[in-house]
């Protein structure tokens, strides 16, 4: 009897060891080579810019590509690259492009919470039905709309004023091989935002960091 029980116990242990381990299913879009492209427009206005750049208005327009370069069980790695870059006034373009045209690799978890960095992706299971999220700090939210099927950002808008400079950012999905563009928009909605956070969407924080640093230095 003991031998029989011992045999049954051994078979149960073996069955447990051989049983397939449950692994969370990866999203259908999580494949190497999949990409999204965003069009961003950043505008800065204020007298403080005159001290640094000789102008009171600065506009930076970009087309940014995020391409998935690797995928594992918990998330994916995306390479952020600026494909097009334009600055007005034109004479400032060369001064800023070295910092702006750098690429950046970003790791994102599939269960990334809406409003967490990086903001270009949020777990669709945690999104509200309309996909609209107020991100950033409580006193300085960012208004963003996500695709509720994939969790990828469709558009974001932010506005903030600091040290006499008003900064406005608009970011819209331009194209993708797996995210469908949405016709609805935020109606030009603006919100005060932590710009360092919103700019991490495109991986171009370096450009604005330089501007902010120069402005701060001039005010010291």
**Has residue 17 been placed in a domain?**
no
Instruction: Looking at mean pLDDT, say which of 3-17, 59-73, 139-153 comes out highest.
Output: 59-73
Mean per-residue pLDDT, 75-93:
90
Rounded mean pLDDT of the chain?
Answer: 76
Q: How confident is the model at residue 22 (pLDDT cuts 50, 70, 90)?
A: very low
Least confident residue range of 5-19, 162-176, 206-220: 206-220
DSSP per residue, 45-59: ESHHHHHHHS-SEEE
Take residue 172 and report the two structure tokens written for it. Answer: 């819209």
Q: Which residue range forms the structural domain that includes residue 179?
A: 29-219
Q: For the chain, how far is it from start to end, CA to CA, in angstroms?
A: 87
**Has residue 4 been placed in a domain?**
no
Compute the distance between CA of residue 111 and CA of residue 138 in angstroms, rounded to an integer: 22
**Has residue 158 been placed in a domain?**
yes
**Has residue 62 been placed in a domain?**
yes
Compute the distance between CA of residue 147 and CA of residue 156 in angstroms, rounded to an integer: 12
**Has residue 6 been placed in a domain?**
no
DSSP per residue, 54-75: S-SEEEEEEEEEEEEEEE-SSE
- Indicate the number of domains in the chain: 1
**Has residue 2 been placed in a domain?**
no
Compute the distance between CA of residue 98 and CA of residue 140 in angstroms, rounded to an integer: 30
Using an 8 Å Cβ cutoff, are 193 and 136 in contact? yes
- Is pTM beyond 0.75? Reply is no
CA angle in degrees (0–180, nearest 5) for 31-153-169? 135
Mean per-residue pLDDT, 66-90:
93
**Has residue 3 been placed in a domain?**
no
Take residue 167 and report the two structure tokens written for it. Answer: 């900064």
pLDDT for res 77? 96
Compute the distance between CA of residue 152 and CA of residue 79 in angstroms, rounded to an integer: 15
CA distances from 132 to 122, 140, 160, 188, 193 (A): 11, 16, 20, 14, 16
Q: Which residue has the higher pLDDT, 70 or 182?
A: 70
**Has residue 208 been placed in a domain?**
yes
CA distances from 30 to 22, 33, 75, 77, 104 (A): 18, 9, 8, 10, 19
pLDDT at 183 exceeding the cut of 50: no
């Amino acid at each position: 009897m003991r031998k029989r029980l011992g045999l049954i116990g051994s078979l149960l242990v073996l069955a447990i060891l051989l049983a397939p381990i449950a692994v969370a299913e990866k999203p259908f879009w999580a494949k190497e080579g999949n990409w999204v492209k965003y069009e961003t427009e950043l505008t800065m206005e204020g007298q403080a810019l005159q001290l640094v750049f000789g102008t009171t208005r600065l506009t930076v327009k970009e087309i940014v590509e995020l391409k998935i370069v690797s995928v594992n069980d918990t998330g994916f790695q995306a390479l952020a690259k600026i494909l097009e870059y334009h600055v007005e006034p034109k004479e400032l373009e060369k001064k800023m492009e070295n910092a702006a045209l750098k690429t950046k690799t970003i790791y994102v978890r599939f269960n990334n919470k809406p409003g967490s960095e990086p903001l270009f992706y949020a777990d669709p299971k945690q999104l509200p039905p309309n996909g609209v999220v107020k991100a950033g700090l409580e006193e300085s939210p960012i208004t963003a709309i996500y695709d509720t099927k994939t969790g990828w950002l469709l558009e974001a808008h932010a506005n903030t004023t600091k040290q006499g400079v008003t900064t406005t950012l608009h970011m819209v999905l331009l194209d993708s091989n797996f995210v469908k563009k949405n016709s609805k928009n935020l109606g030009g909605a603006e919100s005060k935002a932590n710009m360092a956070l919103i700019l991490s969407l495109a991986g171009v924080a370096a450009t604005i960091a330089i501007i902010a640093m120069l402005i701060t230095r001039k005010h010291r």
